[in-house]
Chain A
């Protein structure tokens, strides 16, 4: 165990992460997909002031927006006689890292070039510098902290002995391995133990959790080695944890929003038993704001089943929110000076107290931890009692490599819309069609599946055959992707647009087939890509059809004995029925992704496949 040193997470993990971290603009609202995409669409014009654009990870957008506003109005916002204006945009750590490595060359999709970058944890800076071959992101000043915790419904944690008993990964493994699941604790209605965890290639909490679970397997709190990761007992331990995963994903907000939505329906206990998140998220959830950001019409309302934060007895890691003033070619000396003013402003005791009100632990040790980090919000300011050391870069790479082989396998049916509209130009006056781009994205995403993942391909459209009742055709049945990777690639490549869009029919049938062949050892999912609305030639029964479909999806996904098949939907192009796709995805506690700009389809596909 070491003293608190939360930073320096990954380093060379960039070798893996850099290629997959970018993801596209995606869904909104509860249950929707990642918020990884481009920065704020707001155009920032500093006028006569010195402009300081700041890209921050999503969990701190609210607090930094408020601080920037106050700073801009304050007398501190001056370099000499010139005023300073700070503007904050949301950008996930992984997506920002990738953009920086690539020179932040496309402001249209990446957002404005930042002067300051604040990823979730300092380790991302190491990734950027290593990948770029130069120090673009010098060491930043951590200005607020939040530890990784295992969030559990209080009811479940209590059954396991919380708060009297110190819980950790070993308890999770024991429960995950027990075929009785929660029945062992006289709660068969909760089903098996289900863990929600993000993909460590995308998400800081997913990465921290993976590192922590390897530490837990070895019993160490520092000096994790590559040899440790190969030990059979460590592999077995990690595999057991991974096997309990519901599905992965690129951001924790997807889990939290889904969990909250399930709570609204009174079924949160059968959606997930635990989710790896940051402490701040537990507070937000219990205050009725699961993703930490109140959107229009969202009213904070306490959940029926509050969460508690389990600080793993084996130790945990911190996200430290570094304030990194970039050393990038587009950043001027004047802007650096202005950025430093804002950094100092953020670190004042007064503003550190403000950081605290958002559920973060102050980075300035002069400010004591207080409300809302308190027991009534499910967290414990005295924890964590053990903080883990950040492994060396070569071990981090090994962690990700090991995770790639030990993660829970997936069974995925790719359902692709080949209706006539998919043959339209993706971008006006360009030769490539929407289907062309989708094919390329799907083929590219295939490389993210490991050989024993099972993947199938179904296409849907009216007019596929001479039989008008046939709405879809299976080009490749769901099976191990290893031996059929090339075949799958060729099948996708050969797709061409046909006719209408029998969206509801194909959703119902795909969900039913995957439920019928459900494999409890895998993540069972349907990925549905469509560019249109339901159009099966019978408009009159659309409402009834949709209501019945949603009910079927929900009833198939809820309850302790459910065979949860997750339906991930991609609304592709401007005519896609995003609202319906979101309802369908949410009914299965999965996520909807927005690729209304066809140019983002590759990034979106990557984000979708991060769930597996």
Chain B
């Protein structure tokens, strides 16, 4: 066997071992290795067991960064960060999920994660998307575009607002706030809007008027349904869908409105040990810009970490 052939065999063995390693470290039942990244050389190669994890809402961004990464549900990553004493994860996520991880770790008596190895990368807005003609009707019915008004119109006939009888009742859907960054942002923005504060806690959300309003707003989410954003894409019947504007801008026949107070969601990167991979940060910044995220405007209008935990708890209690 000549030297070239030996080198090739060694390289092949290394690739197999690498693939096995990635598979064993990255995939779990709530995780999928991103299709764009699986065959791409990682810019933060997992040579030391470090995993790069992205929330689904940032899939395109992570893919464009060229990293090997996994898409994981928010609940899965939070559970890992709360239970592992020394996790080695790069989490590309939205705010305030890193702080929620901190709170969960503190409750689980795990050592704190480094807070200086995090970086805000950009922001986008929470919107309500709907067929154009329905947005027009809703805007007329709720001139202030407040979450409070939108909630009060939900679960009532469109006809009452001047819509068509065939549209039936107003329904509002979004993704699951326990597993999805988008769902958490939308539900959090709605409750921050309804209560008029971002420092909400379980006590604020226990108020009967807030419960009643939430029950009304979220009624459609109680029924099992296909993913609401997928419904928009394939054009099946839907009314109002809460999402990040970056998730819906490319969909035709759909108009969006920004409920007030306007909520901006931050994209952020955190590492649980070691330092931030600067090359990854740079490529993420570029990818975010290409995907419609604003690099300059700061997040605002969303509950903080404690508030988001209260929001998740309310979801479990009202929707379950």
Contact = CB atoms under 8 A, between A and B. Distances in A.
Interface of A: 29-30, 65, 69, 260-261, 264-265, 295-299, 301, 543, 546-547, 550-551, 554, 577-579, 582-583, 586-587
B317 A299 contact: no
5 contacts: A297-B308, A299-B200, A299-B201, A578-B320, A583-B211
Best-buried of A296, A554, A579 by chain B (most CB within 10 Å): A296
Contacts of A297: 201-202, 205, 306-313
Interface stretch (B45-53, B67-75, B102-110, B243-251): B102-110
Contact of A261 (B206, B309, B318): B206
A30 B306 contact: no
Interface core residue of B203, B219, B316 (most chain A CB under 10 Å): B203
Contacts of B199: 299
B293 to A, nearest CB: 28
Interface string B155-186: 10000000000000000000000000000000
Given A69-B109, A260-B203, A296 B208 contact: no
B207 interface: yes
Contact of B202 (A65, A295, A583, A587): A295
Contact of B206 (A30, A69, A546): A30
Contacts of B312: 296-297
Contacts of B103: 296
Ranked nearest first, the 10 interchain pairs of A and B with the lowest CB-CB distance are A299-B201, A297-B310, A297-B309, A579-B317, A296-B309, A297-B202, A547-B212, A297-B313, A543-B219, A298-B202
B215 interface: yes
Interface in B57-103: 103
A296 B208 CA distance: 20
B220 to A, nearest CB: 10
Contacts of A587: 208
B216 interface: yes
Contacts of A582: 317
A301 B215 CA distance: 25
Given A29-B313, A264-B207, 13 more contacts: A265-B208, A296-B107, A296-B309, A296-B313, A297-B311, A298-B203, A298-B306, A299-B201, A299-B203, A543-B219, A554-B208, A583-B317, A586-B206
Contacts of A301: 201, 203
Interface string B278-294: 00000000000000000
B109 A264 contact: no
B141 to A, nearest CB: 20
Given A261-B206, A543-B216, A554-B208, A296 B104 contact: yes
Contacts of B205: 297
Nearest to A548: B212
Contacts of B318: 579
B66 to A, nearest CB: 36
A504 to B, nearest CB: 13
A547 B215 CA distance: 8
A550 B208 contact: yes
A546 B320 contact: no
Contact of B207 (A69, A265, A577, A578): A265
Contact of B320 (A265, A551, A579): A579
A254 to B, nearest CB: 15
Nearest to A553: B208
A29, A299, A546, A554 — most chain B CB neighbours (10 Å)? A299
Contact of A299 (B109, B211, B215, B310): B310
B3 to A, nearest CB: 48
Nearest to B315: A579
B104 A298 contact: no
A240 B201 CA distance: 39
Contacts of B212: 547, 550-551
Contacts of B207: 264-265
B38 to A, nearest CB: 34
Contacts of B313: 29, 296-297
B312 to A, nearest CB: 7
Contacts of A299: 199-204, 306-307, 310
A261 B311 CA distance: 17
Nearest to A587: B208
A396 B14 CA distance: 76
Contact of A29 (B109, B202, B215, B216): B202
B188 to A, nearest CB: 11
Contacts of B215: 543, 546-547
A301 B202 CA distance: 11
A582 B146 CA distance: 29
A583 B307 CA distance: 20
Contact of B109 (A65, A547, A577, A583): A65
A114 B285 CA distance: 53
Nearest to A540: B169
Nearest to A42: B108
A65 B203 CA distance: 25
Name the residue in A69, A577, A579 with the highest tally of chain B Cβ atoms < 10 Å from its Cβ: A579
Contacts of A546: 215
Contacts of A577: 320
A98 B204 CA distance: 38
A556 B102 CA distance: 42
Nearest to B320: A579
Given A297-B310, A299-B310, A550-B212, A30 B317 contact: no
Interface in B212-232: 212, 215-216, 219
A299 B202 CA distance: 7
Interface in B102-129: 103-104, 107, 109
Contacts of B203: 30, 260-261, 264, 298-299, 301
Contacts of A551: 208, 212
A299 B200 CA distance: 7
B155 to A, nearest CB: 6
A579 B214 CA distance: 14
